Each structure stands twice: as C-alpha cells, then as structure tokens.
A and B are shown apart, each in its own frame.
Chain A
Amino acid sequence: MWAAILGASLGCYLLKVAGLSVPGRILADPRVERIGGLLPVALLSAFIAMQTFTVDDQLELSARVVGAGVAVFAVWRRAPFLVVILAAMGATALVRALA
C-alpha cells in the first residue's frame, strides 16, 4: 500500500513538473490535449457510478444513491463544494436512520 502511495505521489508530482517543463509541442498535440481533457471526465464518471451503484462489487441500490441524487441537485443549484458533500452525507445518513 505504501509503495502505491509513494509511487502515485511521485507520478503526480512529476506530471506537474513535466507540464511546466516540457516544450509546448508534445503536450499541445491536439490528440494528447483531447485525451488529457477527457481522462478526468471518464475516470470521475466511473468512480461516481461505481461508488453510487455498487456495494462489495455487486450492483445494488443503497442509501448512497439518494446521497448522490442530492449531490447532483446541489451541484445543479450551484451550491458550494462543502455544501454538496455535507448534503449528500446528510441525505444518506437520514435514509439509513429511517430504514
């Protein structure tokens, strides 16, 4: 686990240095730029889907679905980051308490 943390930390840092160091040409390649823009979109979406709809690697509707729904609503209403998270946590906790 610590190897993964250190490796990922190093990788993330080196990417930042690379961005400030590499002459624009390589990273400014339109394909690299497009993939760079789409990677976070795909990864974030996959994380959201999995954390919302799976429990222990199985598809399952849990209280978290309600929390995610509240988060989507809060983001749509342009709520601040912290409010989005607290609202999602609160909704999820409430559903669990009532269930």
Chain B
Amino acid sequence: MFTGASQFALVSVADNPVAGAASAIMLGTRNAMYGLRLTSILRVRGARKAVAAQLVIDESTAMAIGQSNDDDDDGRVGFWATGIAVFVFWNLATLIGALGADAIGNPEDFGLDAAAPAAFIALLAPRLRGREPWVVAIAAGVVALMVTPFVPDGVPILLAAVVAVVAGLRSPR
C-alpha cells in the first residue's frame, strides 16, 4: 500500500480491521481519478503500466500534470522521478520507524499522537477550494464526532463517506 493517507487511515482504525481497510481503500479512490489524467501523459502499457500504477500518488501526479505541456517528455520525467524518489524514501523512513519504535519510550510524551491529525490537516487544506468541499468537510466531521461515542470503531468514518456520496449525488453542477 503506497499511498500515505490510506496507510494512516488503516492504522487509525486498527481496532476494527474491516472498517480500517474500507476507509483506506476509499481514500485510495482518488488515485484512480489521477490515473485518468495521467494516461495521456504517461502512455504506458503492459509491465511498465503495472509499475507506473504503483507510483500513482498525490506527489507524482502533481509533478506530471504541472510539468507537462503538449508533447514534451517533462511530464513523464516528472512522474517517474517523483514517484521513484518518494517510493524509496517513504519506505526507507517507514523501515527506520518500524525498527526504531521500541527505542523512543512513551510516544505521547513528545506528541506523536498529534502527528496523524496534523498530517491529515495538511492533506485536507489544499482540497478546500470553494463552498462545497467546506460544507462536506464540516458535515463529515460533525457527523463523525456525534456518533463516535455510540457506534463501533470505524463506523463514524464510513458514515462520513456516506456524507460525501450523498453530497456528490445531489449537487448537480
């Protein structure tokens, strides 16, 4: 699973593996949307497509789309360079974290539990353009908070997803 938000999501709902996996996959749906934009830039098939697919993430998509004008190779170079660089260092850092976890004592003492929400805030902010995402974000957050004390782990996240689906189906634009 090479898509950061999904990794964080799965870990956050680890008490309920099914809901954790479901929210990880739902957060991964945007990579499919990225693929749509990327097909014309990358023009890959066969084995190269299988590799390219794993590198489809926020960063590589942004670089590919940002660098591509018409026919030149910059978009492709941007995609592969960014994708490979992030892949290598992300997984290297994950390995260090996994091996070093025992060495650091109580993670709450230095605020590690605040890292995930902070990361999510940084990931959410660029998506809040216009009124609709704000409404959906606030509604989803409120719904999740209101039901949390009463339902099993993971269910609040699934209800938040329902908010997005309803909003997406209703607002014709």
Q: Do A and B come from one complex?
A: yes
Give Cα A19 to B24, complex, Å: 17
- Tell me the interface secondary structure of chain A in the complex: helix
CB A68 to nearest CB in B, in angstroms, measures 5
Give Cα A24 to B148, complex, Å: 38
**Do B24 and A11 have beta carbons less than 8 Å apart?**
yes
**Do A11 and B49 have beta carbons less than 8 Å apart?**
no
Q: Does A98 contact B (CB under 8 A)?
A: no
Q: Could you say which residues of chain B place their CB within 8 Å of the CB of A17?
A: 35, 49-50, 53
- Tell me the interface secondary structure of chain B in the complex: helix
Interface size range on A against B: 35 or more
Interface size range on B against A: 35 or more
Give Cα A36 to B168, complex, Å: 8
The residue on B at minimum CB distance from A19 is: B35
CB A2 to nearest CB in B, in angstroms, measures 9
Known contacts: A38-B136, A75-B125, A85-B122. The answer to whether A96 contacts B109 by CB under 8 A is yes
Give Cα A36 to B28, complex, Å: 10
**Do B50 and A49 have beta carbons less than 8 Å apart?**
no
Q: Could you say which residues of chain A place their CB within 8 Å of the CB of B44?
A: 20
Q: Could you say which residues of chain A place their CB within 8 Å of the CB of B75?
A: none
Q: Does B99 contact A (CB under 8 A)?
A: no
CB A29 to nearest CB in B, in angstroms, measures 11
Q: Could you say which residues of chain B place their CB within 8 Å of the CB of A49?
A: 140-142, 144-145
Q: Does B80 contact A (CB under 8 A)?
A: no
Q: Could you say which residues of chain B place their CB within 8 Å of the CB of A58?
A: 148-149
Q: Which of B17, B26, B54, B171 contacts A43 (CB 8 A)?
A: B26
**Do B111 and A67 have beta carbons less than 8 Å apart?**
yes
Q: Which 5 pairs, one residue from A and one from B, show the smallest C-beta to C-beta distance?
A: A19-B35, A67-B114, A92-B111, A35-B168, A4-B17
